Structure 1
Amino acid sequence: MPNKNTPNGFYMFMLEEQKKIKAQTKRAPSMHEMPSMCRDPWKSLSAAEKAHYDNLAKHEKARQRGGSSNKDMYRKDNQRQIIAYRKDAKVEKEKRRRHETETMMKSWRDEDSLDQVFHVIDFQVMYDVRAEDHHLPVELGMVAFNLRDGIQKSFHTFIDPGEIPQGNKLLAFKHSENTHKIPVDFDQGDKNYEGIWSKINSFLQSDATKSEDIPPLFCLVRRCFIYLFFCF
């Protein structure tokens, strides 16, 4: 373990993990215990994640020296976040992905993989423009299945996407003709977006185990969730 006066990236990582453990258990391990607990997790971090902690260590060294970089330690960005402690979106996404993968794998340990239930959701959209921050969903389908027996249950509904944004009607018409064939003026879609969320949640909750709130849901068109969320 590095000397207290010469922190490195691993030391900063241990400090963060120690805080997490304390928040969960109300009792934090000592720093003498942390190296053995953190060595393997540290090795599994990506280069970008390790660089984040190395940067924290650099600022901490400067703070301890009281040098010219000391003031930089507490500089804030335009969101009023301390720059040195600002979360890197790429690093945080990688952490979340690893956590989700580990959680999912743990849930399989006591179960035959052929009986593991997977949940998949997919959407048909009004039109597909990758540059936009959300997609307008017109149809939703969900299935729960395992490798032994196939599909266990399913859920389907049409969704009212609202008015077509100005200038995109031709794009929506062409997308409909080339893909799902749902008419652009289709008026039978569900407008109760909160109700749709509730049905998705109920679909998942019925398969939840004691170790999880809801099981993992696999989806390719994440932008549809963004649209539905902000509609209610």
Structure 2
Amino acid sequence: MPKKNAFFYFMLEYKALEEAKGRKFKNIGEVTPFAGEMWQKMDAAKRERFFLIANQAQNATIKLEEKVQECAEKKDATKDLLQERVKRAVSRNELTKEEFYLISMGYFCRTIDDVYIPAEIGVIKYSLKCGVQEQFHIIIDHEKLPTGMAYEALHHSEGTHALPLPPHGLGVKDYDEIALKLLTFLRAENEMPMLFTAAKEASAVYSMLCDILGEHMQNRSLHICSVAELYMLLQHASVRSNQDKPALKTVHIAQKLLDDDVFSYTEGISCDYHEYRSLLIHCCLSQCIRWAYSISRDCCADMGIELIPGMHTPDQKGVPRLFNENSETISDDHSSSDNEHLNDGNMSFVSFGTHITSLPAEPGTLEDLPISIKPDGGESSKSSVVSSQVLVQQRAIPEIEACIDNTAFFTI
């Protein structure tokens, strides 16, 4: 490949002009002698345009290289932060209580400018001791898709989450509303906690979160780390108690174990929309919980932690789901009314809450719910609520009681 100087860009232009006349060249090397002859005859004024093109291209390359270097340094810094965090927790003998936030995000499409249009967010709070403690799930709608992106969005949706396209989608359109709910769940009054996701999705998750959080990110740093990296570090810590079990040698092995996704078709851990349509593997909430189950499977036993069904492993006892296709939707009026014709009358498309609830197990009315989660309006407040709308686990297990602090599951 010739050096990309001013003459190189002149050759490209010369080649294009000659080929437009019907002339054919096998490669750029055949162009060189003909273009070189013309280049020698050109004065400095005519050559100036090609020098400008070369300088602009060189500056763009430098900026790209700087961006790649910056991303690599940021990735290394995030990895160092995680390693230090785990090391510190181990030294205090508190690793089992350390809380981590796992996140997965779906999108409608990716524009030519590398902008992702978010469709869904799933987040869980997880610890080795308590398993899946809390969860957040929200489906996102938009006023419209970027011009020319409808086909790509439809193709992507049909192959993944199957969510209806904007502006006829489900969920919440207001980024500020989404940001406030997410920050509340993450307890990010001051700093953002480190978030863990699939390594191949990290840049997309980072981009979408920056767009959604917007001004809320002022004076805050956003650290997105590979969930496989977390998995490997926790596994290394756990095998110290079991000398017969080998440690994972590389993060790639940890990633392979996560990709095997042995819990991929676990029922009862997806949102209403995907559970009802049997799209279990494409639900962002389910993806986060499945990561947690995989980590628990390989780390908890070696640390003397009893696996609690539903929190560390799939619940095989038929405990009611957190969401139920027959439950009524409790949502903000402006979110539900715009999507009523697509909501099947029973999909709860915005959810936020914990794994355990202290709400009564018997069927009741919305009057039984805490005031903070009742929908607005008078007549609708008398609507009946089936007991399977929330998860009620009455178990005399000390480990569960130790992980719960008067928390309750609710939908927004």
TM-score between both structures, scaled by the size of structure 2: 0.31
Q: Give the C-alpha shift of residue 181 in structure 1.
A: 1.5
Superposition map of 1:116-195 within 5 A: 116-127=98-109, 129=110, 131-185=112-166, 186-195=168-177
Give the aligned length: 145
Instruction: Kindly indicate whether the alpha-carbon contact (under 8 Å) linking 1:126 and 1:161 is maintained by their aligned counterparts in 2.
Output: no
Hey, what does 2:67 align to over in structure 1?
89
Q: Give the C-alpha shift of residue 88 in structure 1.
A: 3.4
Hey, what does 1:101 align to over in structure 2?
79
Residue identity matched to 1:99: A
Compared with structure 1, are the counterparts of its residues 91 and 124 closer, same or farther at alpha carbon in structure 2 (3 Å cutoff)? closer
Instruction: Kindly indicate whether the alpha-carbon contact (under 8 Å) linking 1:139 and 1:158 is maintained by their aligned counterparts in 2.
Output: yes
**RMSD over aligned Cα, in angstroms?**
3.4
Compared with structure 1, are the counterparts of its residues 231 and 182 closer, same or farther at alpha carbon in structure 2 (3 Å cutoff)? farther
Instruction: Kindly indicate whether the alpha-carbon contact (under 8 Å) linking 1:134 and 1:227 is maintained by their aligned counterparts in 2.
Output: no
Percent of residue pairs identical: 24
Separation of aligned partners in 1, 2:191 and 2:210 = 21
Which stretch has the larger CA shift, 139-148 or 106-115?
A: 106-115
Compared with structure 1, are the counterparts of its residues 172 and 105 closer, same or farther at alpha carbon in structure 2 (3 Å cutoff)? same
Instruction: Kindly indicate whether the alpha-carbon contact (under 8 Å) linking 2:119 and 2:139 is maintained by their aligned counterparts in 1.
Output: yes
Indicate which of 204, 208, 216 corresponds to 1:224.
Answer: 208
Separation of aligned partners in 2, 1:165 and 1:159 = 15
- Which SS does the other structure have where 1:177 is aligned? helix
Separation of aligned partners in 2, 1:172 and 1:92 = 30
Separation of aligned partners in 1, 2:111 and 2:117 = 12
Compared with structure 1, are the counterparts of its residues 163 and 111 closer, same or farther at alpha carbon in structure 2 (3 Å cutoff)? farther
Q: Give the C-alpha shift of residue 93 in structure 1.
A: 2.8
- Which SS does the other structure have where 1:126 is aligned? strand
Residue identity matched to 1:148: K
Residue identity matched to 1:124: G
Residue identity matched to 2:104: D
Instruction: Kindly indicate whether the alpha-carbon contact (under 8 Å) linking 2:142 and 2:169 is maintained by their aligned counterparts in 1.
Output: no
Hey, what does 2:409 align to over in structure 1?
none
- Which SS does the other structure have where 1:119 is aligned? strand
Indicate which of 206, 211, 214 corresponds to 2:192.
Answer: 214
Q: Give the C-alpha shift of residue 137 in structure 1.
A: 0.8
Residue identity matched to 1:112: E
Q: Give the C-alpha shift of residue 163 in structure 1.
A: 0.8
Separation of aligned partners in 2, 1:231 and 1:164 = 22
Separation of aligned partners in 2, 1:90 and 1:174 = 30
Separation of aligned partners in 1, 2:84 and 2:209 = 26
Instruction: Kindly indicate whether the alpha-carbon contact (under 8 Å) linking 2:126 and 2:133 is maintained by their aligned counterparts in 1.
Output: yes
Indicate which of 179, 187, 203 corresponds to 2:185.
Answer: 203
Instruction: Kindly indicate whether the alpha-carbon contact (under 8 Å) linking 1:116 and 1:147 is maintained by their aligned counterparts in 2.
Output: yes
Separation of aligned partners in 1, 2:131 and 2:125 = 8
Separation of aligned partners in 1, 2:73 and 2:159 = 38
Separation of aligned partners in 2, 1:217 and 1:152 = 15
Unaligned runs of 5+ in 1: 1-76, 79-86
Q: What do residues 55-85 of structure 1 show as CA deviations (whole Å, max 9, x unaligned)?
A: xxxxxxxxxxxxxxxxxxxxxx99xxxxxxx
TM-score between both structures, scaled by the size of structure 1: 0.51
Separation of aligned partners in 1, 2:119 and 2:129 = 32
Instruction: Kindly indicate whether the alpha-carbon contact (under 8 Å) linking 2:100 and 2:127 is maintained by their aligned counterparts in 1.
Output: yes
Residue identity matched to 1:216: M
Separation of aligned partners in 1, 2:127 and 2:155 = 36
Unaligned runs of 5+ in 2: 1-54, 57-64, 217-412
Compared with structure 1, are the counterparts of its residues 95 and 179 closer, same or farther at alpha carbon in structure 2 (3 Å cutoff)? closer
Compared with structure 1, are the counterparts of its residues 131 and 111 closer, same or farther at alpha carbon in structure 2 (3 Å cutoff)? farther
Instruction: Kindly indicate whether the alpha-carbon contact (under 8 Å) linking 1:136 and 1:227 is maintained by their aligned counterparts in 2.
Output: no
Q: Give the C-alpha shift of residue 146 in structure 1.
A: 1.8
Superposition map of 1:34-73 within 5 A: none
Separation of aligned partners in 2, 1:198 and 1:171 = 30
Compared with structure 1, are the counterparts of its residues 230 and 107 closer, same or farther at alpha carbon in structure 2 (3 Å cutoff)? closer
- Which SS does the other structure have where 1:88 is aligned? helix
Larger radius of gyration: 2
Compared with structure 1, are the counterparts of its residues 161 and 182 closer, same or farther at alpha carbon in structure 2 (3 Å cutoff)? same
Residue identity matched to 1:182: L
Q: Give the C-alpha shift of residue 187 in structure 1.
A: 3.7
